[in-house]
Structure 1
Amino acid sequence: MRHSPILTICLAALSTGFTFAQGPHTGHTHSMSPALAESTPARVGPHGGSLKVAGDLQLETVVNQGGIQMFAFDRQGSPVSVDRGRGAAILRVEGNAKRYRYDLLPDGKGSLLAPVNLSQIAGRQIEIDVQLVGVGSSGVRFDEVATVPASETQLAAAAIARQKICPVSGKPLGSMGDPVSVDVGGQQVFVCCAGCVDAVKADPAKYASGRPKITVTTATAADAAAIAKQKVCPVMDEPLGGMGTPVKVIVGDKPIYLCCKGCIKKVQAEPAKYLAMVYGGAQTESNRSSATSNLSVSVVRATPADASLIATQKTCPVMDEPLGSMGGPVKLMVGDKPVFLCCRGCIKKVEAEPAKYLVKVYGATSQGSVPSGAEQVREGIYKVTAADAPFISAQKKCPVMDEPLDAMGGPYKVHANGKAIYICCPGCAKRIAAEPGKYLAILSNQGVAAPLLR
């Protein structure tokens, strides 16, 4: 006897904008009442799918990237023929209200099959409404919830994206061709090239985490040439040696020199970023054009009267280090507000983005102000000026499209309840005009203080 149809639905591949090719839609009218699936604990069928009981049948639902397949069994588990059966699987992808219908037809191999490429929604959850006729003594209808499994290739790509860098060389994965997988105690660790494989196999415990080993030491006279070549600290953009003997951090097999111990934590958190800055041609802050600011920034001497303010602020907004951990705090006046830093090396960061650090210290209440705007590109949409630069730098993304402000010809400025919001394109202005409070709240939740208009 051929296998009967238990529904096996295999859905795969993650995609936020996937559209199914819709199968033919044929309406059916039946006088019999369909048997509904019983609510029973999930069980695994002989084909790896989910088993449910409907009337006198057991139905197995399996989901894979090749489509939807269904097998049926009687209550004793013997296969039931589905050669005279047919049905429909109606799918809804998580986060998408639209439904897609696919016909389930005999495949000549003991199952009902709806072949469809589901690879683009791997990892997404789907809801399936299954309707069958010609299977068992009556029609069958039941619902299934499944997650489309990812392929081996997709799982590997996701793991590479999470790991980011080779734990042996410290180089970005992909920079030396396709990453190479090494099995370490049943776990995949990726390296940048075949040359790193032996190092992992020789000391698997060292590389099991998939992250390069990071060691900290003090630079010596032997490092002088390397320090002269690197010149500046990649974290603080300060000259090496300007804050004492440079700190030497070995990431994998590559040294990075830092201006002080306060920078170690940054490198430990994002080793790939700082390796790229030192070895991959990435620019440091001094090579980037910094925004002009209409907020004055001046360095003043902290006094005993500042003790309560320092205690309230607690940490440096640049380095996230306790104030006082690197000597007496440095006091800056940003506009009319004091900002305390752990050391003089942080001054340059605040001078480049004063609005950003005001928000970090004072939150959304720390608002500067900008001119309302004189030159309109459309009604209610204004060109930005140099005075807007620090606030554009602090906002970074359009609250409507979540795109960089310069991604679509912007930034532009619009008015929202007496404040300025920056947008990526004129098309976003209507949304903000309709709900200004909503978009101000979005910015506030992101720690961005929209400047007041003057």
Structure 2
Amino acid sequence: MSAQQPPGDRQNVPSGPESHDAGENAGSSTQRRAGLRGSIWFAFKAIEIRLRFIAILVGIGLVIGYWDSIKNYWDKWTRPTGAEVAVSADEEFYCPMHPSVVRDKPDPGGAIPKCPICGMPLSKRKKGELPELPEGIISRVQLSPYRIELAGIKTVEAELRPLTLDVRTVGYVAIDERKLSRLVVRAGGYVEKLYVNESFAEVAEGDPLAEIYSPELYSAVQELLIAQRDTTSQLAEIAREKLKLLGVADREIDEIVRTGKADSRLIIRSPHAGHVFEKRIVEGDSVQAGQMLFEVADLSTVWIEGEVYEKDAAMLRRGQTVEATVDAIPGRVFEGRVSLVHPHVQTATRTVRVRFELNNPNHALRPGMFATVSLSTPMQAVEPFRTQLAAEKMELALTSSGADRPEVDANVPTTGDELRPASDESLIAMQKVCPVTGAKLGSMGKPLRATADGRTVFLCCAGCKDELAGSPDYYLRRLRTVSEEGVLAVPEQALIDTGNLKIVYIEREPGLFEGVAVTVGTLAGGYYPVIDGLLPGDRVAAAGAFLVDAETRLNPGAASTYFGASGAPSSGSGSPAPSATRSNETGPDASPSGASEKERANMAKLPEADRGAAERQRICPITDLSLGSMGVPYKMTVEGRKVFLCCESCKSQVAKDPQAALAKIQKNESKR
């Protein structure tokens, strides 16, 4: 039995089909609302995912763009306390000869650190203080590998080259005055006959030219014939000598004595073969004693009179071979020699007159012709190289003969009071510079005497002794700036002429250029011969040398930093622009423009297992120098990775901040 519902409730509850339809309508309405919310939610999720992706990309871009700043802040926050104290000190140590060697604190125990390259104690300076350049160095600049590549700077090795000086001049053909004769009559008379009655006639030696009637000659012949009758008297000799003075030949005098007939006619004969250039008489002329009758010139040899500029006069020497050409005979070359260089300069033209002597077969060269003369002189035969060559030969003889003298021990310090053989001072004056560093002997203390391959050599310091012992042939060759085969020379583009000085930039270390003043000779074949200032083996900037020079003069940042320094001068110091500058710009190529032969040789000494990794790294993370530039690269392991350094002295810097070293290596490798 069903329960009875209140009347009101029964009125509000649908029953039967009406109740079923109402349930379906309510369900569909709920589904529509749920579908709309899902669409909105899906759209929101899609937008959120896209915005998240865009935000991630923006974040990555900011990290990449500000990576250097982030890394600098990270290094600052994570730097060890000891390193911070060292960097903030007021003083540091550096090597004047190798500016890449900089130490920020003394060795353990307070000792002054030594240069790992030359072994000399390092010099002290304040951070930011401009380094004092060694004697002979005018300027110094350090360029990054990227700047070197960008500027197209190329280096070449200064070496001995067979240079020749070519001199070319013009002149005119002239008669050889030594073979020009003027014939005069020695007794008055009359011209009875002319055998040569025209100018420029060709005659042979002894040919008769004219016949002169002379009463004075007739009297002298009579005196001879009378004197011949008295065999005891010396009158015959006196009369014979008188006839000779009148121009009668010995054979004609003998003929007069043999025949006993007096002859009143004097035959004028040609003294040598040649041409009658001038005839001043005709038949029937009256002539007086001393009057010139003929001028005869031998053209088998001729002169060419020319002029050369005073700067070229030193290239000429007597007996030097020359070649001459004339327009009248194209393609034919006449060989001759320098016979005279006039001892004075013509002030109006600033030239020096020169005389060339040439053979003239078949009389092809005619006096008055214009001629072009050219000659080549080996540079070593010209002053001052000729004197230098003689001095080097003398030095070689002296040093070789003194090779048996006792050698100074490099481990024993010198006090300057040791007695040296008297010849050592002269040998030091001849050698002048250290073959290892190129420094002037005496600039780093008393020169050290050593022996290499039986020859005495003087070094600037004890640190050079091991280098000399390792490569004696190379360093002995550096002492020879001139030889029989050539002279030391550099390309024309390597020389910077400032007006007062001529400067060449030597690459002492990869990217480190030092300007030195040089003395050079005359340009020949695109090369300047070097008289003083360089040594064989020095690598000099050739292509791009002007840009290196401009970097030392025009770089506005030159006053704020220098190579190897850990500090910088204050902006208000008012100090002049330094002569030692550094360019710190970086770029996508962190590799040098080309490894030197020394670097490649040192890299080759690494074990084969390490060589590939070292070649990929290429740059020391501490000094930024190329691996191999300071000897065989030093290997160490940092957080499980092989790391190569330019020298063992950099090990302590890596130990202080290994992460920075690894990051720098990765950065350099990524740029390549």
TM-score class, shorter: under 0.3
TM-score, structure 2 as length reference: 0.17
